[in-house]
Structure 1
Amino acid sequence: MFTKKSRNIYKAGSLCEFAKAFFIGGIDVENVVKHALLKEVEQLMEQYIGGLKEIFLDEKIVGVYIYGSIALGAFHAETSDVDFVTVISDPVNEAEKQQLVELHKKLSGSTLGKRMDGMYIPLADLGKYNDEMNEYVYCADGKANIGHWDINAVTWWTLKNQGITVIGKEAEDLSFQIRWDDVVNTMKYNVEQYWSGKAKQPYLFFIEEWVESAVVTMGRILYTLDHKTIVSKDRGLQYLLEHSSEEWGPLLKEVERIRQNPKEKRMLSRWRRADMTKRFLLHLIETCRGKWTIQ
């Protein structure tokens, strides 16, 4: 595993002192976020935290955490989502829900605000899966709703091990445990059910987004199985570029073009690209199957 570093992004002598000062109004919201975040994300978080403070009683906010591409150091301002988890002491009530809807409506006035994806999870539900939880407030594409969102072992492992603490208790100190075996089982389900199913629908791979998604996701899964950590889409693609045979080079370079220079001319015809994507996907599925038993 990698060596964990402190991911708290605030200027404070101690987290407890900071939290106390913040909640009683002793720290100005505008000065909360350090420059560790990109300026656009920093500004969004300042607005978000200020809005939360107007909705929840001080003691109800256990913490706010960023995970996903931002925490993995692979944020793309033009395309990446702002993935967050806000942990609260007890479930959101109806009045608070309506206020959260309005808060996210306001935040979605900005480009990044429209790309906020996250959940409001009661403290008692940390580490649980959707079938074990009551409905909760979540935010998808900048819009708040109630129901169930994208929670699995990867979500919890990433939050616990790689999450950025915005306010509150350090992510790594949150009171839940997640086993690496659960992460592997999630990856296995993703490969055996989801991507195996997509491989039987090759017409999907005439669409650029599906080509990119299939390749970079499988690259991330392969890296995870080999190194026991979660990485970004960029690192997953780089891993395939470094370790795949020359046969797949044209496809991988094409996916690199899609991600980095989408307006440039295609390197492969749509027919060849679709065929190579299907074959490469099947190859990677078999490669992953060879690793389940050694995890």
Structure 2
Amino acid sequence: MESEEIMMLPAAVDKTMKQLVHSLNTRTSNIVSIYLYGSVALQDYIEGSSDIDFIAFVREPLTKSDIQAIAEAHEELEAQIPNTGLMGTYLLLDDLANIRNEINAQLTYFDKQTNTQGKGADLNPITWWILKNQGIRFYGSEITFNYELDVASLCQYVIHNLNSYWVGWITRLEDTLQLVLAQEQDINIEKLDQAIEWCTLGMLRQLYTLKEHDITSKIGAGFYSTHHVPGKWHGLIEEAIAIKRLQPNRLYQSQTERLTDLIDLLKFIHVEANRV
């Protein structure tokens, strides 16, 4: 079955997914459908910066021969189109009825490797929300996502994520700043760029969801925040957007000031999110 042209996909995404479908179809008949979610579904994919996130639904539990076939398909894809940023989960179709319970991935493709232990599985309320509301069917039969996912459950997941994963980032950044100031060390600019893009836009997405009861992309959250975050941090947010877009725009001269402002912004987002 050919890919469904629901919307014009970025060329890199279309090429990658067509190759994946071809590589899978020559090796297994167990694939029911493949859906795209993440930045592609949110129409904010940036080649070289964004991942291509997919869920492949399978008819039957994967056998050893299925797993081998899928692994070979991904190896072929990587050989044909290197460094695609492809990340995905192979999920039993019948398990869609159990999203409120823990669902075990049949197989994942993460960090250029297939994994039977669920490494990199992205099965959480945010994924289910995007899949149901904006997911793109690239291949196979149309699936009716008739599971219920209420706003309260979505927000509960987001606030827990903020108060665990993202608080951990704030703590590590504070430790880095203290070490830099105490030992007068230079800050690794490339690593700081990565932290600014990942943490700023990542946490702003959480704040957007809690305020608007919806999900947006990282870039969308960045632009949204310029109307909801004090102006003193707008320059840092602009830098985060530029880094995500692989653009060279930088506003800060002092890396220590950048790191200090990043920590202060993340603390503000954390407090504001819990207040909401």
Distance in 2 of aligned mates of 1:204 and 1:129:
38
Change in Cα spacing, 1:143 to 1:92, as seen in structure 2 (3 Å) is same
Distance in 2 of aligned mates of 1:290 and 1:33:
43
Partner of 1:212: 197
Amino acid at match of 1:223: Y
Choose the corresponding residue for 1:176, options 147, 161, 176.
147
Is residue 2:161 matched to residue 1:190? Answer: yes
Choose the corresponding residue for 1:132, options 86, 102, 111.
102
Amino acid at match of 2:273: C
Residue-by-residue CA offset, 1:234-267 (whole Å, 9 max, x unaligned): 0011111232222212322332332335545552
Is residue 2:61 matched to residue 1:91? Answer: yes
Distance in 1 of aligned mates of 2:152 and 2:80:
39
Distance in 2 of aligned mates of 1:66 and 1:104:
16
Amino acid at match of 2:47: A
Change in Cα spacing, 1:68 to 1:267, as seen in structure 2 (3 Å) is same
Change in Cα spacing, 1:250 to 1:104, as seen in structure 2 (3 Å) is same
**Structure 1, unpaired ranges of 5+:** 1-21, 23-28
Choose the corresponding residue for 1:253, options 221, 238, 242.
238
| Identity fraction in percent | 26
Q: Greater shift after overlay, 276-285 or 45-54?
A: 45-54
TM-score of the pair, normalised by structure 2: 0.84
Q: RMSD of the TM alignment (CA)?
A: 2.4
Is residue 2:113 matched to residue 1:143? Answer: yes
Change in Cα spacing, 1:177 to 1:54, as seen in structure 2 (3 Å) is farther
| 1:188 Cα offset (Å) | 0.8
Change in Cα spacing, 1:251 to 1:176, as seen in structure 2 (3 Å) is same
Change in Cα spacing, 1:271 to 1:113, as seen in structure 2 (3 Å) is closer
Is residue 2:252 matched to residue 1:267? Answer: yes
- Check conservation: 1:212, 1:255, Cα contact below 8 A: yes
Is residue 2:22 matched to residue 1:37? Answer: no
Choose the corresponding residue for 1:227, options 192, 204, 212.
212
Distance in 2 of aligned mates of 1:181 and 1:239:
22
- Check conservation: 1:119, 1:139, Cα contact below 8 A: yes
Q: Greater shift after overlay, 66-75 or 136-145?
A: 136-145
**Structure 2, unpaired ranges of 5+:** 178-186
| 1:129 Cα offset (Å) | 6.2
Change in Cα spacing, 1:199 to 1:188, as seen in structure 2 (3 Å) is same
| 1:155 Cα offset (Å) | 1.1
- Check conservation: 2:16, 2:81, Cα contact below 8 A: no
Residue-by-residue CA offset, 1:73-113 (whole Å, 9 max, x unaligned): 00111211110000112211100101111110111125566
| 1:130 Cα offset (Å) | 11
Give the secondary-structure state (helix, strand or coil) at the position aligned to 1:85: strand
Change in Cα spacing, 1:174 to 1:62, as seen in structure 2 (3 Å) is farther
How many equivalent pairs are there?
A: 259
| 1:277 Cα offset (Å) | 0.9
Give the secondary-structure state (helix, strand or coil) at the position aligned to 1:249: helix
Partner of 1:25: none
| 1:222 Cα offset (Å) | 1.4
Change in Cα spacing, 1:39 to 1:95, as seen in structure 2 (3 Å) is same
Give the secondary-structure state (helix, strand or coil) at the position aligned to 2:226: helix
Partner of 2:183: none
